[in-house]
Amino acid sequence: MNFRLSVNGIERHVDVPRSTTLLSVLRNNLGLTGTRYGCGAGQCGACYVLADGRAVASCLTTVEQAASQAITTVEGLALGERLHPVQDAFIAEDAMQCGYCTSGMVMSAAALLERIPHPSEDDIRAALDMHLCRCGVYGRAIRAVKRAAEVGR
Ligand code: FES
Ligand code: FES
């Protein structure tokens, strides 16, 4: 089936079965590989993107569901040449090692700051709760979100 998607503000067309996951479409059809495949079952957070501003697991979202929403991936988070404050803060706090989980965490953090510009530490922990990081950068990621909240957009 043909689907029209809005991804990072650009209209995209894909011809895939309706049960195809958004994660698969982003990576395999649109070449947006910043969104990672981790578990494929909604358990790790590696595949998170924004759908109408909410952080969602793209491995659990079908292309059909995604077609009615504005999708933002990590490739579309920056404003032109300017990184999103969350991206800057993750770099400043060195909140990554292998980086596999990073784009998912960044998307959830960006959604949190849109919703709650000055989150408490509990808010930040709750927003990052579903993100597994084998390298254990949790403490630095929390500091990065606090830093981004201080800087604002
Ligand atoms: S790949 Fe989607 S939550 Fe793990
Ligand atoms: S930085 Fe390696 S999995 Fe998180």
Return d(Cα 128, Cα 11) in angstroms, integer. Answer: 30
101 within ligand 2 shell (Cβ under 6 A):
yes
Quote the crossing angle between the two packed helices 121-128 and 138-151, to the nearest 10°: 120
Q: Which fold has domain 85-151?
A: DNA polymerase; domain 1 (1.10.150)
- Locate CATH 1.10.150.120 in the chain: 85-151
Task: Identify the DSSP state of 76.
Answer: G
Q: For 72-113, how does the pLDDT look when each residue is reduced to its tens digit (9 = 90+)? A: 999 999 988 999 999 999 999 999 999 999 999 999 999 999
**Nearest alpha carbon, ligand 2 atom 4:** 133
Question: CB burial class (10 A; 0-12, 13-18, 19+) of residue 87?
Answer: buried
Q: Are 12 and 30 contacting, i.e. CB atoms less than 8 angstroms apart?
A: yes
Which pLDDT value is given to residue 151? 86
Cite the residue boundaries of each domain of the chain with CATH code 3.10.20.30. Answer: 2-76
Choices 3.40.50.720, 3.90.79.10, 3.10.20.30, 3.20.20.100: CATH for 2-76: 3.10.20.30
